[in-house]
Amino acid sequence: MKYAIVESGGKQFRAVEGGTIEVDRLPVEPGTNVKLEQVLLLADGENITIGTPLVKDIPVWTTVIEHFRGPKVNIFNYSPKKRIRVKIGHRQNYSRLLVEQIGGTEFVKKEPVKVEKAIEVKAEELAPKAKAEKPAKAAPKGKASTAKAPVTRTKTGTTKAATKLSSKKTTPAKAETKAAPKRKAAPKKPAATK
């Protein structure tokens, strides 16, 4: 497996072709290509190349997918007995990069696989079958259909078949019970003094 360790924003990331990495926000628009030139290590199967400090002429080509914000971090400074309480929140901005290619002097854009032909073939295969099938007849008015009714599960765990009649409306399966209102305690009378 081919991968590289790259540096971006003072942090190191493991970049694998076809994978994504999340780096500090870059000042580019989503959809643009970004060339990461600070490659510290390149591993290609058994061959490992370690830079001194960088590996030369092997950039990592990426595409910006989106910009997003990370989770909120709360900072709370507290000094007891001095009335110092400072609460600050922070959300870091990130860019998600798709690693397109590792190495190469120029970015070679891979063409997407054409799927249109496969869809046309499936449509032609399904067309004769659709004509051969006959539509199902509708049930006459006032009578229940002969199709299987869906099975519902009740609160106790037992199952029952739900029937659907055109003339009757169904009631909900769950019946909620109301709790009796709580009574207030009678006020206590003060003890009589002699």
pLDDT tens digit sequence for 1-33: 889 999 999 999 999 999 999 999 999 999 999
Confidence at 135, pLDDT banded by 50, 70, 90: low
The length of the chain is 194
In the numeric block, the tokens 């032609």 are attached to: 124
Host H or E run for residue 54:
none
Residue closest to 43 by CA, chosen among 55, 52, 34? 55
Beta-sheet strands, E only, within 91-167: 93-102, 151-153, 159-161
Whether the per-residue pLDDT at 80 is higher than 60: the answer is yes
Confidence at 104, pLDDT banded by 50, 70, 90: confident
**Please, which contacts does 140-143 make with residues 24 or more away whose CB atoms are closer than 8 Å?**
141/166, 142/166, 142/167
Residue closest to 99 by CA, chosen among 57, 56, 59, 63? 63
Distances (CA, A) of 130 to 20, 127, 136, 138, 147: 43, 5, 13, 19, 21
Instruction: Specify the pTM.
Output: 0.53
Cα(151)–Cα(27) distance, rounded to whole angstroms? 56
Give helix then strand counts, H and E, for the chain.
Answer: 1, 12
pLDDT of residue 109: 74
Q: What are phi and psi of 167, to 5 degrees?
A: -90, -25
pLDDT of residue 166: 47
- 3-class state of residue 13 by DSSP: strand
Q: What percent of the chain has pLDDT over 90?
A: 46
Under 8 Å CB-to-CB from 178, ≥6 apart: which residues?
none
Cβ contact 77:86 at 8 Å: yes
Cβ contact 96:25 at 8 Å: no
